[in-house]
Structure 1
Amino acid sequence: MLGTKLGEILMGWGKSTPLPLGLPEQVDGLATAPSDRGDETQERFRYQWAIGVWLLAQSLAGKRAIRAMWCEHHEDFLLELPAGRYIAVQVKTDSRENARWRWSDDALVDSVARFCAFEKTHGSAIDSYEFISNAAPYVPAATTTREDSLAASPDRLIQCCSRASTHSELEEPYQEVFTRLVGKTGGDAIVLFEVLRKLTFAQGPVLRGYDDTLAASIVPKLPGCAGLTTVSCCRLRDELIGLVQAACRLRFDGIDGAVAYLATNGRPHAAIRGKCITPEAAAELMARVRQPTFRFVGSGVGIDIGATVGRTEVLNRKMRNAYLGSQFEPLRMRMDSADQRLMERALLEPDDFDAIANQLVSTVLVECKDVEAMAFDHADDKTRGLAIYKQILQRMDSLAKEEPERVCREPKDTLMGIAGMLSGECKFAWGTPLDEETRDGA
């Protein structure tokens, strides 16, 4: 059984097993706070995708009208408004304790510089610029009197720009910091003044708790999601983040995957179009995820991982018996690869793997049995097996594409490989059982 095999795989890998080369970045073998730039970078990308979900949620909940959201197109996000105008969005994170954004922070200045470059070419179509972060901008206290502290506040400078007609009317100490910003953002005082008048700040959830915030505070407020369970909210959150993640990457497939028309920047037009997410597309995904997924609970059906030798021989005999000899080799390749894939999932998801394996095996077996039953009256014994094989191929492809949750997001090839395992372990025939199975009442 899969659970038994999993235990054998994990045997000997306990807490006492030494880690390769010890823990990274330990000083003299003593406890040292970890620093993993790779993990930190991935976490910041995921935070950006989560902010994309929040922006979509604003539209879905009726808080802001958005025609479409373009991901990693000109800016981190470019919100297309119904009137054909736009909002440019930059997302930045700061992991410092109690961090506050000041004009001395390079990341903030760099974002404003990008906005200035954008304003020069597209300013007439931009309604506003948004700087979204887990950290808030610095705001001076009522007792603050030092001019350098007052001038360090982004909000103070933005307010002064909003009250002035031109940048030359800015009062001190804000005129001085504005002049310094001009030199850091492209050297155009008029453009910088317009950007600051359009600039707004928004504070997102904390860097270490945004997943929980999305699942607990944002997803339940989406249309039709008020009654979702916590597990369902988490699943929908992950699906929406995945939607934004896919749009943030240059991906294209289908016909354009082989030959593609290129934009003037050398990128395929299809890849650029793929960066666009509409609220309707997000709503369609939500409706699909909210559909209840049928689950097999404790079905008792199981297959062995790694028992390929005897299973392969039985599968070969069964397929030849059903006049499917020509399909044996591709199914054997799928079966061996699926066996390896299940072992990998067992190592990666040990706590959930029994439920995953039960769902996969039970779903594939029931589908195969259903197809076999529907073909019982097929007139020609020599073509019945091929008809069943064809129907199973189509059904596994449909499950993988249209009901990914039901098959734990495994592709068609994994599902076909599991079908081969089941047949090789005498749990399923291709419409024509072996003689010994018939004698045993199979």
Structure 2
Amino acid sequence: MTTASLDPGAVLDKTDPGADTQARFSYQHCFAALQCLRLLSGQLEAVYCENHEDILLRKPGGTYDALQVKTRRFDLEPFKATDDAVKNSIGRFAKLESAYPARFDNFHFITNHGFWGEKENGNNLAYIRAQICERGNLDGLTKAHLLKKFVSGLCGEHGCDEAHVVAAMLKLFLLGQQTDLERPYKDLRENVGDVRDYRRTQTFHTLTRVADNLIYLCQQASSCVLGGSVADLYSLVMDFDAQRDALLLAGKTITADRVEEVIRQSLVEGADNLLVSSGGVSADALPPGFDVMVEKLEHGGLQMARVDSLKDFKKSMETLYVKWVHRYGLDEANRRLQHLKTLVRDDCVEAQLSVEQPGQKYASAMYTALRQMLEDRLRTSTLPVFDCAREHLLGTAGILTEECTVWWSDRFDLKAVR
């Protein structure tokens, strides 16, 4: 016999770290967005997200800075030189120093927390760095010496040689912000206000919108999203893999032009819920294949133009959801999305029942019926839709289709989930 007290689906897990995990990713994306603002002044030529390092900065002249961004709860100790996160980061920096000689000016280890410094010993990363910088090398040190042991340990664990580890340490900068995970977001919004005197000419709400959209830009660049369309993969090139890699790199690269476009769109009146294109395609879906939504729509006979529109609407709704997460928190964003999914699912069911013909393709008629129902809902319903347009609600229908909650034809075995 099942009781509510024994049903995990009926009990809220208050220890679930989901919201905390989201905040930690947001910290890194906010930090990347702050670097993107430096593109506008010419301090940087490009910002790369999750390419070689968490953040890679290309400077005029073609040299780079590499940034590792780490978060840690304040009930834990500050970072020590012996922590795996620290050793792994320095090991990565040393490998970059080896692979790309003279191309890196600085390596940065950045954290919301701090660095242990109670004693001048092997746990004190700042002390070890300072000692290496003072000496310039490890010549003449015995194997038992603190610096020699630290560097030798890194060499053994990460397959680096001493010269490259020392070179990386000489270029290492430590930034312990000693602040909560929300600090970079607040700093980003403040810095957006300093761009072209926007603090004086734009509203607080608009500056928040610009910050949210810059964060989303960095989030997308951190994903395996192609910097182009699927069609670009099938241009007449000899090397498909090389073309795919080039598009992936383009997706990870943020330039001043991309930042300017984000700002331009964000400043438009009523831009809070701007619709976006689904042009960024997850690389995991390629080479070719159907995602669940597209496969179901095509099976139901929906015209390709409408399929493409629904993909864009779905992407717009997902973008709006990300903005809600950054602005209101994960719980409120989930509450809003679940509310809209409940409303739209009801309309999807009614639209399907009104047109379905077993054994026949009826997705086109269902799309027309659903669009009209959503228009009627926006015009007459008293239930909140959080300033969403009809297109956002259609995008919610797309999300429900992906989740296999909504069908546009008789049910069938999906290729996309095999």
Q: CA deviation at 1:278?
A: 0.6
Residue 50 of structure 1 aligns with an amino acid whose one-letter code is C
The match for 2:55 is 77
Q: Distance in 2 between matches of 1:263 and 1:91?
A: 33
Q: Which residue does the alignment assign to 2:253?
A: 276
**2:9 maps to what in 1?**
20
1:378-430 Cα offsets, whole Å, 9 max, x none, are: xxxxxxxxxxxxxxxxxxxxxxxxxxxxx76976999xxxxxxxxxxxxxxxx
User: Match of 2:128, as an amino acid?
Assistant: L
How far apart are 1:83 and its partner, in Å? 0.1
Following superposition, the deviation at residue 46 of structure 1 comes to 2.4
Matched residues in 2 for 1:251 and 1:231: separation?
29
Measured after TM superposition, the shift of residue 35 of structure 1 is: 3.2
Structure number with bigger Rg: 1
What CA distance in whole angstroms lies between the structure 2 residues aligned with 1:204 and 1:289? 29
Partner of 1:336: 370
Aligned equivalent of 1:385:
none
Q: CA deviation at 1:98?
A: 6.1
C-alpha contact (below 8 Å) 1:70/1:275 kept by paired residues: yes
Match of 1:53 in 2: 33
Local SS of the residue matching 1:130: strand
TM-score by length of 2: 0.61
* Matched position secondary structure for 1:288: helix
The equivalent position to 1:150 in structure 2, one of 117, 121, 127, is 121
For residue 11 of structure 2, give the secondary structure of its aligned residue in structure 1.
coil
CA deviations on 1:282-321 (whole Å, 9 max, x unpaired) are 12311221222289xxxxxxxx976799999999xxxxxx
Aligned-residue RMSD, C-alpha = 4.2
The structure-2 alpha-carbon separation of the partners of 1:90 and 1:352, relative to structure 1 and needing over 3 Å to count, comes to farther
Contact 1:75 1:89 in 2 (8 A): yes
One-letter amino acid matched to 1:256: D
Tell me the equivalent position of 1:5: none
Q: What TM-score does the superposition give when structure 1 sets the normalisation length?
A: 0.58
**How far apart, CA to CA, are the structure 1 residues paired with 2:177 and 2:265?**
27
Per the alignment, do residues 257 and 169 of structure 1 end up closer, same or farther by CA in structure 2, a change over 3 Å counting? same
Q: Give 1:285's match in structure 2, choosing from 262, 272, 275.
A: 262
Could you tell me how far 1:52 is from its partner in structure 2?
A: 0.7
1:250 to 197, 202, 224: 224
Q: Distance in 1 between matches of 2:37 and 2:77?
A: 26
Structure 2 match to 1:374: none
Q: Choose from 115, 135, 138 the match for 1:167.
A: 138
Indicate conservation of the 8 Å contact 1:338/1:413, yes or no.
no
Aligned mates of 1:238, 1:188 — CA distance in 2: 42
- Cross-structure match for 1:353: 384
Instruction: Look up the SS of the partner of 1:76 in the other structure.
Output: strand
Relative distance call for 1:339 and 1:106 in structure 2 (3 A) is: farther
Task: State the number of aligned residues.
Answer: 307
What's the counterpart of residue 28 of structure 1? none
Spell out, residue by residue over 1:329-375, the C-alpha distance to the aligned partner (whole angstroms, 9 max, x if none). Answer: 736414426858999x9xxxx99934525xx36xxxxxxxxxxxxxx
Corresponding residue number in structure 1 for 2:82? 104
CA drift of 1:34 comes to 0.7
Match of 2:174 among 193, 201, 213: 201
Aligned counterparts of 2:121 and 2:191: Cα–Cα separation in 1: 35
The answer to whether 1:217 aligns with 2:217 is: no
- Unaligned 5+ segments in structure 2 are 1-6, 273-342, 356-361, 399-418
1:35 aligns with 2:6: no
Q: CA deviation at 1:89?
A: 1.6
Which SS does the other structure have where 1:274 is aligned?
helix
